[in-house]
Amino acid sequence: MTGLVPPKPAGNPKKLGPVARLVKSFHSSTAPLYAKSYSMKLGEVRLPRRTMYFVNQPDLVQKILLGDVDRYPKSDLMATMLELLLGESIFVSNGDLWRQQRRMMDPAFEGTRIKAIFPLMREAADAMAARFAEGAVGPDTQIDLEMTHVTADVIFRTIYSRPFTREEAEIIFENFERFQHLAWQHGVWTLAGVPQWLSIGRIRARRSAATIRELLHRPVRERLTAIDRGEEIPERDMLTSFIRAEDPETGKRFNERELVDQIGIMFLAGHETSASALAWALYLIAQCPDVQARMQAEADTVFADGPLAFEKMRRLPFTRDVFRETLRLYPPVAFIPRNATEAEKMRGKQILPGAILFVSPLLEHRHTEHWDDPDVFDPDRFSRAETKASEQKAYLPFSKGPRVCLGAAFALQEAVIILATMMRDWTVSPVEGHVPQPVARLTLRSENGIRLNLERRRRDD
């Protein structure tokens, strides 16, 4: 055990009422939380137009996530916040539309099995190493931007068969940071029952979403034009798979707008969540020299006889556990909202149709009844037998059930490759006086960024 207790989203004073908390939500996504949120089993927040419940009891979580997807559909709150960026993608759709999209998209993932995609991930990690060696990093490095670049590079190579440029990385980083802040405010505005057209910041959010979508749309247009001209195109990337995807029941194919919708969620899920978790992982590693030394020793072993190969991944168990512990402390998607469609009772509370049921990986992962020393950074917990029960009932960084994240294995492999490559070459340390402030909007990022010092390892390290 490291003994490190890193920062977490803080709870509000108990005297703060629901309306005041809603107002505060315009500035901070921690407004729904009290200090006791990390030990409660079913929290209730009554708002003027809608009631929210924070479900933190494992059997109820299982019921919501593993049960009937039509009884507990994705909340319309998510669509309200994300429609400008993701349209009607599989992430926000429900019912027959979701089932049709799933039928069409599942085959596209056949070509992205973790072994098949390994070379592309290694290429992106090697490109990161080259950038770093050329002086892109050093003292006071904005590591969350660097992780955005490398993870976006991975997903661009996977979707489009081409690398991601630095200019594109900065565009995505700046616009998504702005978009998710404004989208959160818009969601809070909606919860208050205010018409969408009066929502503060919606025009600015639309501009940021349009900038991101254009960056994703351009290569789609280029690919469709190449197909129309009869030109040769990549055969095994996800864009080609999506273009050729066909609903086996209806014969429907994605039109151009729908392609961008689906690629939008693949891009968001494939890079933003990983970038968030990797930035937090490196922050934790920087605070714990002993952990870093163990990871560097693993990296030295696997790179000693040549480049990283797929078969060597099993020789990085501690690196994998460091990332798994990071996902426990800082799950990228901290709150998973579902709508209640039927009246029912949970722990004596009457849940009415239309209520929002929040399953929270953030709260589950730090619940005092489910984990030993839940706020402590302890990568070794995953090698201890007593942790297995906690994992089974209260560990869900990629959600669970029919709507579990399709990219879970993808994200774990990507993270281990990137962390091992960094530990081979660099030592990370804290920037004096800088303490990240975690906030959970669309993803769990730091309000003030994550900055670290990077120093190149000496040959005798």
Extract the annotated binding site for heme.
405
Single-letter code of the amino acid located at 301 = T
Q: Are 127 and 254 in contact (CB under 8 A)?
A: no
428 SS3 class: strand
Binding-site positions read 405
Greatest distance between any 2 Cα atoms in the chain: 67
Q: Which pair of tokens denotes residue 197?
A: 């057209």
Query: How far is the C-alpha of 239 from the C-alpha of 212, rounded, in Å?
Result: 17
- What is the token pair recorded at 167? 């200019």
C-alpha to C-alpha distances, 100 to 92, 93, 267, 366, 393, nearest whole angstrom: 13, 10, 20, 36, 30
- Sequence-ordered alpha helix ranges (H) in 132-230: 143-160, 166-191, 202-228
How would you classify the pairing of strands 356-359 and 438-440?
A: unpaired
Are the beta carbons of 65 and 426 closer than 8 angstroms?
no
Helix, strand, coil percent content, the chain, rounded in steps of 5:
55, 10, 35
Give the list of residues 6+ apart from residue 15 with CB closer than 8 angstroms, or none: none
> Which ranges constitute the DSSP H helices of 132-165?
143-160
Determine the Cα–Cα distance for residues 306 and 297; give it in Å rounded to an integer: 15
Between strands 356-359 and 336-339, the pairing is antiparallel
Report whether 55 contacts 359 (CB < 8 A). Answer: yes
What lies within 8 Å, CB to CB, of 357 at 6+ separation is 53, 55, 64, 72, 75, 337, 338, 339, 340, 351
